[in-house]
Structure 1
């Protein structure tokens, strides 16, 4: 259970990193 949660958390972090970084980049260049 705990191990599965850690794997899921790491997966979500990677997904958020992929989605957020391009958004921040376009946000800065858009300004």
Structure 2
């Protein structure tokens, strides 16, 4: 196995998850503030 490829894939996956969780927080905050 080529671990470098896996690590890069996990890095991009983590970044995508970070962005998704930020978006979810914004949605939740918007719903709470109503």
| TM-based fold match above 0.5 | yes
> Unmatched 5+ residue regions in structure 1?
none
TM, length-normalised to structure 1: 0.70
Q: How many residues align?
A: 31
TM, length-normalised to structure 2: 0.67
The structure with the largest alpha-carbon Rg is 2
Query: How big is the alpha-carbon RMSD for the aligned residues of Structure 1 and Structure 2?
Result: 1.1
> Unmatched 5+ residue regions in structure 2?
none
